[in-house]
A and B are shown apart, each in its own frame.
Chain A
Amino acid sequence: AQSVAQPEDQVNVAEGNPLTVKCTYSVSGNPYLFWYVQYPNRGLQFLLKYITGDNLVKGSYGFEAEFNKSQTSFHLKKPSALVSDSALYFCAVSPSFRQAGTALIFGKGTTLSVSS
């Protein structure tokens, strides 16, 4: 079965420290990987995606993610956390772009809490 795992329900970091939100996946074929962020009472906002090419992907708000094929991981990172980064983060995978109507498979989400 194809799936996405976010092993941490919550990640707590102090402002200014680096942050990592973990994501691992299990899909057949080449994965297309995404990170979304959800602020309270808002819809999901796209942060970044990996389709092909450089394993380090840079996205919005200073976030980046590293695709590791051997570890089937796509961890979200930021060198210096801000209080405003506090939100719910979702990792998602699209199993195959050739499959019509392929839905994004979402992880359960990780709540990031940045303290001042």
Chain B
Amino acid sequence: EAQVTQNPRYLITVTGKKLTVTCSQNMNHEYMSWYRQDPGLGLRQIYYSMNVEVTDKGDVPEGYKVSRKEKRNFPLILESPSPNQTSLYFCASNPTGNRPYEQYFGPGTRLTVT
């Protein structure tokens, strides 16, 4: 089954404790992206990757890091989480960032930082 998976689905952590949210897709997509969803704000892009070893900032990159060492994986790293990073996070992929394909979304990771 073609899908985007994320782990963990739920995470409660404390301020300053480094964490990684994994994202993996099995569709051989070139383009992957991370969004955060906050009430009343819709989804906002954090980082994206056009292909392996190619990453760039989205609209709200502060406090986040990413890497793209393999085509299928695109982990989101919070080196020192803060309460304002409490949010619902979605990973997404599509075949390429150069065409208006629809994006495939993972199930989401709900992060709470206390």
Given the complex, which residues of B lie within 8 Å of A104, measured CB to CB? Answer: 43, 45, 103
Given the known A-B contacts A103-B33, A108-B41, are A43 and B97 also in contact in the complex, defined by CB atoms under 8 Å? no
- Does A22 have its Cβ within 8 Å of any Cβ on chain B? no
Contact A103 B107 (CB under 8 A): no
- A-B pair count, CB < 8 Å, reads 60
Range of interface residues on chain A?
20 to 34
Of A12-20, A65-73, A79-87, A92-100, the segment with at least 4 beta carbons within 8 Å of chain B is A92-100
- Does B105 have its Cβ within 8 Å of any Cβ on chain A? yes
- Does A45 have its Cβ within 8 Å of any Cβ on chain B? yes
Given the known A-B contacts A98-B98, A103-B58, A103-B59, are A46 and B40 also in contact in the complex, defined by CB atoms under 8 Å? no
Given the complex, which residues of A lie within 8 Å of B41, measured CB to CB? Answer: 108
- Does B102 have its Cβ within 8 Å of any Cβ on chain A? yes
Given the complex, which residues of B lie within 8 Å of A107, measured CB to CB? Answer: 42
In whole angstroms, what is the CA distance A107 to B106 when docked? 19
